Every structure is written in structure tokens, then in C-alpha cells.
Chains A and B, each alone.
Chain A
């Protein structure tokens, strides 16, 4: 298949940036979206042009690096997938595909399609952990009884890969889905309860400092999240937060 690509090009953080149109030929429908971009880049390198910078690592939907806004949706069309899991058979021969970086004040563009998502790291550093050494003194998994339902919900929350699609897709650039998943995965388990109150206050405080917007409950994040993180986590974080503030 032959495609027209409109890609955001930006030489560096201070460059103004612009959309640039490219043609790619002989794309195999079984290629992943990132492989299609590899083909484009090989072509650009052969022509002596600057290849398009984009983030990627695992290419199997687990690292959360491949942050691309494709045809107006985070990770493109399709649900429950990252960009590396999107295949070219989702498009038609002759299509025009628009590719942009995540847009949020808290995720500034570094180059082309690559954004700086270290705001997420700072939120985790603010409290997204438990303060005991967990390496070298492994405790038997069944030593602390945990209701199956809580274990399942904590695990579901823990599947968040920190990709930032929730922020990118939210009209308010709100990070509530990500932060609530990280709050929930610990708040649901006895090991995490010990520091739950401080944790939620600190993580939300950091989230606000980073310049993310406020949640309006549009639900767009839940729809676009590649891991199906539920809005239930946001409701849980709101409860946790209120309890922490008033107690």
C-alpha cells in the first residue's frame, strides 16, 4: 500500500515546529505502525534527510514508550492497543495519516514526535512506592491473606504502563487516570495501606505542580487507555484523597 503521511517535525524544544508531508510506498499491511515509520526513516536517511524521531522500546505493548497521536486519537484507531500493536491493515491504500506528538504542557516536545514524560516519574517519586526494602527478603505471597477481589483490582490497576495516552487524549490534559491507577494498586493492598494517606496527598500535589489539568469526567482516558484502566480508580482516588484531607 502507498500512503501520505503528515508528520509533526520540530528540531528541538525551542523550535516552533510544523506539519510536513511525506509519501511512503510499498507498505506491507502486516507491518506494525512503527515498522512503517522505520521504512520512511530508511528512505529519509538514504536521501540524506533527518529521520523522524519517535519513541519506542519493547514494540510489544508493555513499555509504554510509543506515544503517537494518530488521526486524532492516542495510539490511533482501535481499542486496547499501543502504537506498536497497531497494524497497517487498519488503514487503506491511499490513506492520509496524521501523526502528532502527545500535546500537554506537562509533556514538552523534545524532538519531532518525542515528548518528555518525566513528569510521571516525579509523581511516582513523590509517593508511588512502599518504604520497605522488597529485594533480598522476599516474603511468602500467601503470608498475608488478601481478598481475591482486591488482589484482582490491584493487579488491574498495576497493568498501567505509564504511556500517557490518558493525558494526551484528555481535553484537559489531566493525569488522573494514571495517578489513580498508581494510587489504587497500592491502596488496595495491606502493604500499601500503611502509607496510603500521605501517598495520595503527595502524588496529587505533585500532579498539580506538574501542570496537568483537572478531570472533568469525560471518560476519554478510559476509552483510549491501551490497558483498559477503569474510571473506578479515579473515584477511588477521590475518596482516598477526601479521607486524607479531612482526617
Chain B
């Protein structure tokens, strides 16, 4: 009966998609971070980083997963915006005086704002690096691979704007951290995975993940800038 409409429009199914795409994006973060960390080797990283970038953009299985990833980001953002608009509409008259900090965390109440910051970041990030890697005219390295290393280093070492890019990058990683500090554990609750034995574990795992991953991401442009 309502099953078809449930799959498309139900509040709970929308949340399931949110949680599944969100967790998929979390695994992507780990893989992406792994590649970026090569950059911490400095100039020695040039050849290995470029070879890694080439592998990530040409290996068929990874290409297939990357399309799933683009779709997930777009869907997560779209679904998140739909949910947020519906949630706003559910309270047309606001409270004259409200004290939300008495019962919930700031991050949990600002997922859409934090997500929007991340979306803006992703768009900028992809036009700076992803677009150049795929369609840009960039020099080759000694092994004949596209020299993405050079692109990244020149970007963050730009004499006038480099510091601005680094600061923006770091700020966006802070936003990502707050998005995850609520989102990671929240997705388990959405998927129905609540158990008093494991709740604390999931929460702590989420906390470690949301501090460590954005922190390691943020260290890289800082390292490149001061190097």
C-alpha cells in the first residue's frame, strides 16, 4: 500500500539515505586522507603522489566507486536540504524565548549550516584540483604522470593568496569535524543501531574520528605552506 510512497517520501526513509550516504562519505574521507598524507613527505612525495593520483583516476573499479561517490555527495546534500526545509516549515511560529542549549549540542542543531560550508568547500576543492587533474592542462613529472603535486604546492604556496587558501581549508575542516561529531554517531541511531553496550563505543569512536580525520587533513596545507 503505502510502501512505494514510503520509499520515496517517508521521513524515516529519507533519514536512512542520509545515514547511508553519510557513512559512505566517511569511508571516502579515510581513503582520501590516506592519499593526501603522502604529501607530508615533501619533495620526495612528488613521484609517488602523482602515481597515486593517476591510479585513483584511471583504475576501473575506483572509477566506478568514484561515480557512486559523486552521486552520494549530491544526494546527501539534496536530501539534507529537503529535510531541513521541511523541518523549518514544521514550526511556522518560532518561540519568543528558547533555550535549546539546555538539551542538545550546537553541532546537532546546525547540521545544515555545517553541511553547506562543506558543500562550498567541495565545489571549490574540486574546481582547484579535481577539475585540473581531469581536464586541466598540467605539466608531466619525470615518470610521465600528470604533476598534480606541483599544482597542489603552487596553490597553497601562492605568495599572496596561499595563506587565505590555507586558512579557508582549515576552517572548513573545523566545520567537517563538527558535522561528524554529531553525524557519525547519529547515523547509527538512524539505522536503528542502538544498544546500551555499544552506544558509548560508537560515540567515542565518532569523537576520535571527527577530531583525527579533519585534523590530519588540515595539517597537510599548513605543512606545505610553511615548508
Contacts and interface: CB of A to CB of B under 8 A. Distances in A.
A238 B191 contact: yes
A216 interface: yes
B189 A172 contact: no
A218 B189 contact: no
A174 interface: yes
Interface in A161-217: 169, 171-174, 201-202, 204-205, 207-208, 211-217
Given A204-B10, A214-B86, A238 B104 contact: no
A100 B93 CA distance: 11
What are the nearest 9 A-B pairs in CB distance? A72-B99, A235-B194, A239-B192, A213-B90, A172-B87, A223-B103, A218-B104, A173-B90, A213-B87
A105 interface: yes
A62 interface: no
Contact of B190 (A232, A236, A238): A238
10 contacts: A73-B102, A173-B90, A201-B2, A205-B5, A215-B11, A216-B186, A223-B102, A239-B192, A241-B6, A245-B10
A104 B96 CA distance: 13
Given A205-B10, A242-B16, A219 B90 contact: no
B123 interface: no
A39 to B, nearest CB: 22
A84 interface: no
Contacts of A245: 3, 6-7, 10, 13
A98 B96 contact: yes
A120 interface: no
B104 A223 contact: yes
Task: Name A's interface SS.
Answer: mixed
Contacts of A238: 12, 15-16, 189-192
A106 B91 CA distance: 8
A106 B104 CA distance: 22
Contacts of B196: 232
A165 B192 CA distance: 23
A211 B191 CA distance: 23
Given A201-B3, A238-B12, A69 B95 contact: yes
Interface residues of B, number: 45
Contacts of A220: 100, 103-104
A73 B103 contact: yes
Interface in B99-121: 99-100, 102-105, 108-109, 111
Most B CB within 10 A of own CB, among A213, A217, A223: A217
Nearest to A245: B6
Interface in B1-53: 1-3, 5-7, 9-16
Contacts of B135: none
B201 interface: no
B97 interface: yes
Interface of A: 6, 8, 19, 69, 71-73, 98, 100, 103-106, 169, 171-174, 201-202, 204-205, 207-208, 211-220, 223-224, 231-232, 234-239, 241-242, 245
Contacts of A104: 90-91
A172 B90 contact: yes
B1 to A, nearest CB: 7
Contacts of B15: 214-215, 238
Nearest to B99: A72
Contacts of B95: 69, 72, 100, 103
Contact of B108 (A69, A218, A236): A218
B90 A100 contact: no
B205 interface: no
Most A CB within 10 A of own CB, among B3, B92, B103, B191: B103
Given A73-B102, A238-B192, A213 B96 contact: no
Contacts of B186: 216-217
Interface string B181-197: 01000100111111010
A219 B104 contact: yes
B61 interface: no
B83 interface: yes
Contacts of B98: 72
Interface string B171-212: 000000000001000100111111010000000000000000
B89 interface: yes
